[in-house]
Amino acid sequence: MLLSGKIVIITGIGPGMGRKLALEAAKAGAKVTLAARTKDYVESVAREIDDAGGAAVAVTGDVSKQKDCQRIVDAAIDEFGRIDGLVNSAYGAGPFVPFEESDLDDWRKAMDVTLFGSLQMIKSVLPHMKAAGGGSIVNVSTMETRKPLPAHGGYAVPKSALAGATRQLAVELGKYHIRVNTAVMGWMWGAPVEGYINGMATQLGTTPEAMIAGIAQNIPLGHIPPDQECGKTILALLSDYTSQVTGASIEINGGEYVSL
């Protein structure tokens, strides 16, 4: 299996790609430590993995708090003994309002989660990855860093900063055989996007089918990529098959990036 014997931490476990990524990582042979702020939800995903014959630990925590980051890492070490991979999927966004109407304190809070939360997680896993002789870190980003949308600055700007941190850390941590890459997501079909499209269709007086068709026409593969399939690319970045890939930004958006 792709991740057989790997020990992986995934932050930001939610009903979208986070859950799918956790399930697929376990299916690929990884033992996973799952982190999120919602206790009941992250524990339910861990139970799904356990019930399917995998191995998972659920930790409730807020990555904007250093002590929570350390607690997540400590749980992985206590349960599995080492750490091979980290996926920074937790993010903050704040209100989606135009810049001139925004409160920059909301942007700072988003930065605390998306950027500094990810950096704190990396700081916490670093001693363990060095001791293990290497590891793989994947920072989850968004195509909005290439294609800005009005009123989305509180989400996209912290993600842009995280992409810069990826390149910086790839240079600094390569000597420890620790790889750091960015996964750039576009539209992903799953519960969150389905809910968004249904709500917007009602608001705009159209149908979900019409909205989906409008989005898909800008994607070379002709459909909104399923979040489960997008997550599998992250698994590839965690695996030994990408042992020579670091500092990269991998486009996982059905080719929409090339049609901008």
Is 155 in the active site? Answer: yes
> pLDDT value at position 191?
85
Average pLDDT of the segment spanning 153-160: 93
d(C-alpha 128, C-alpha 73), whole Å: 9
Instruction: For each of the domains in the chain, give its residue range(s) and CATH number, in order of start.
Output: 7-188+227-259 (3.40.50.720), 189-224 (no CATH)
**pLDDT grade for 146, boundaries at 50, 70 and 90:** confident
> pLDDT value at position 195?
86
Residue of 155, 176, 241, 257 marked active site? 155
> pLDDT value at position 260?
59
Q: Which has the closest alpha carbon to 89: 188, 3, 178, 177?
A: 188
**pLDDT grade for 200, boundaries at 50, 70 and 90:** confident
Please name the residue that has the structure tokens 């019409």: 210
pTM assigned to the model: 0.94
Which of 189-198, 219-228, 235-244 ranks highest by mean pLDDT? 235-244
d(C-alpha 105, C-alpha 242), whole Å: 38
For residue range 84-118, list pLDDT tens digits in order.
Answer: 999 999 999 888 899 999 999 999 999 999 999 99
Please name the residue that has the structure tokens 């620790």: 178
- First-to-last alpha carbon distance for the chain, in angstroms, is 36
d(C-alpha 252, C-alpha 94), whole Å: 24
